[in-house]
Amino acid sequence: MQKLIDELRVRAAGLGFSTLWITDASPFADWERAVRARGDGLGASIQADPRVVLPSARCVVVLAYPYQDEAEPAPPQVSVSQYYLASHKAYHALPALADWLRGLGFQAEPRPGLPVKPAALRAGAGRYGRNGLLITEEYGGNTALALLLTDAELPLDAPTGALLAAECQNCAACVSICPTGALDGTSAVDTTRCLRTYMFYHEPVPVEYREMMGNRFLGCDDCRRACPCTARMDKKTLPAETLRLTLDMLLGCDASRCEALKQIEEKVGGNYARLNQVLAQAALLAGNSGETRYLPALIPLCESEHVPLREHARWAVKKLQQT
């Protein structure tokens, strides 16, 4: 058993994962009850019982893919959270780890569709911050977490006990800085008020949140950057990964040619490289830029059949014309 876990750690490290933890394959019953009580439909596609995914499952392997922040870009470059680049890398690294376990005669399922943060909490990977992120001892909240389900028998890690990170006891920096008031300080996030919820959304962003989007193309890092635990990354040097996009690149996209879409698909995945959704988010950012030079690109979008794109473009044009 020890030889197997040691080799698993070595192979995971070779794929970019810094650390891994192991928890058992029992159902995440507390999480399931909380989701049902909330009744908002979020989490409906996530499976609470690992053995529904893999009947012979013994362990859930929790892996951390760390990332380091870059300085926030200044317009016309737009902001893309480093989390999404790390998450994309982790997503594509998992199958190799699963294939290795299968080669040893075990069953393994990468990306099993289980609740990630509850699994990490139960595995002792860390505790929750008031911002709802899992705070790890080594990297703070700067990790993309991934899961692998297997029937291999591996030594289990113990939960840390308390739900809230010790550093959070006398700190509420994340709660104070959240632009929409989506945090209540208990580690719960009101997803109806979180800006990330409305990025690449199937409906127009609520009007009251459009200016708050600022220059954010993908992700909002305010609560994580404000967390003192993020300072743990200051003394670390990780391989740099960048996705540098400008409003000119994004607004210049069309169905036949778009270098920006190619970069987005390559670096953060095809789900974020859908033309109309990219243009819809870019239109909001253009409206927030105060730059009237974007009007020629925005005006034709006001007649789009894609509702969020049309509404965002009209909002942006009106805002810029009042500049």
Question: Is 129 found in the same domain as 58?
Answer: yes
**Domain assignment of residue 196, yes or no:** yes
**Domain assignment of residue 14, yes or no:** yes
**Domain assignment of residue 294, yes or no:** yes
Question: Is 152 found in the same domain as 205?
Answer: no
DSSP annotation string for 34-72: HHHHH-SSTTTTS-S-HHHH-TT--EEEEEEEE--PPPP
Question: Is 193 found in the same domain as 57?
Answer: no
pLDDT in tens, the chain (323 residues): 789 999 999 999 999 999 999 999 999 999 899 888 777 666 778 999 999 999 999 999 999 999 988 888 988 999 999 999 999 999 999 999 999 999 999 999 999 999 999 999 999 999 999 999 999 999 999 999 999 999 999 999 999 878 899 899 999 999 999 999 999 999 999 999 999 999 999 999 999 999 999 999 999 999 999 999 987 776 677 776 789 999 999 999 987 678 999 999 999 999 999 999 999 999 999 999 999 999 999 999 999 999 999 999 999 999 999 98
Instruction: Looking at the chain, list the stretches that DSSP marks H as alpha helix, in order from N- to C-terminal side.
Output: 2-14, 29-38, 50-53, 82-103, 116-122, 173-177, 207-210, 222-226, 247-251, 259-268, 275-289, 295-298, 307-321
H or E element in which residue 110 lies: strand 108-110
Q: What is the rounded distance in angstroms from the CA atom of residue 39 to the CA atom of residue 17?
A: 34
- In Å, the largest CA–CA distance within the chain is 68
Question: Is 190 found in the same domain as 110?
Answer: no
Print the domain residue range for 154: 2-67+82-165
What proportions of the chain, in percent to the nearest 5, are helix, strand and coil?
A: 45, 15, 40
Question: Is 187 found in the same domain as 144?
Answer: no
Q: What is the rounded distance in angstroms from the CA atom of residue 233 to the CA atom of residue 288?
A: 31
Question: Is 62 found in the same domain as 39?
Answer: yes
Question: Is 141 found in the same domain as 98?
Answer: yes
Q: What is the rounded distance in angstroms from the CA atom of residue 159 to the CA atom of residue 132?
A: 17
Question: Is 160 found in the same domain as 55?
Answer: yes
What pLDDT, on a 0 to 100 scale, did the predictor assign at position 234?
A: 67
| 198 φ/ψ angles, rounded to the nearest 5 degrees | -95, 0
Per-position b or e across 97-110, b if 16+ CB within 10 A of its CB? bbebbeeeebbbbb
**Domain assignment of residue 174, yes or no:** no
Question: Is 42 found in the same domain as 19?
Answer: yes
Number of domains in the chain: 2
What pLDDT, on a 0 to 100 scale, did the predictor assign at position 10?
A: 97
Q: What is the rounded distance in angstroms from the CA atom of residue 296 to the CA atom of residue 209?
A: 24
Q: What is the rounded distance in angstroms from the CA atom of residue 96 to the CA atom of residue 77?
A: 34
Residues constituting the chain: 323
Question: Is 128 found in the same domain as 38?
Answer: yes
Whether residue 102 contacts residue 116, with contact meaning beta carbons closer than 8 Å, is answered with no
Whether residue 288 contacts residue 318, with contact meaning beta carbons closer than 8 Å, is answered with no
